[in-house]
Amino acid sequence: MALMRSRYTAFVMGNADYLLSTWHPDTRPKQLELDPEQTWLGLVITDSFDGGPWDKDGVVVFTAHYRHNGARGSMTETSKFIRLRKQWLYVAAGSVG
């Protein structure tokens, strides 16, 4: 969950370099353009599975609230993470199971 929170903070701060550096190399895009018109308002982690000290992967379910072009919105995602050489990395959004 710590990586999920730090990645959310990177979205808030517009830090694409951090987002790319914490993305698994097999699924990482070559570049990432963040929308400067999107303002992130809050993160609510609703569930998590695995991702503990002895796990090799984990899942975090969250809702992120934002404002874009004056309109409020939210997105809910199930994010998959994997531990690679002692570092947790974001893999992709997907379903649990």
DSSP, collapsed to helix, strand or coil, labels residue 26 as: coil
Phi/psi of residue 34, each to 5°?
-95, 140
Burial class (CB in 10 A: 0-12, 13-18, 19+), 80: buried
Half-sphere exposure of 16 (CA within 13 A, CB side): 9
- Rounded CA gap, 97 and 86, in Å? 23
Query: Does residue 27 contact residue 11 with C-beta atoms inside 8 Å?
Result: no
**pTM of the entire predicted model:** 0.88
Mean pLDDT of the chain: 92
**20-62 pLDDT, tens digit each:** 999 999 999 999 999 999 999 999 999 999 988 889 999 999 9
- Rounded CA gap, 39 and 80, in Å? 24
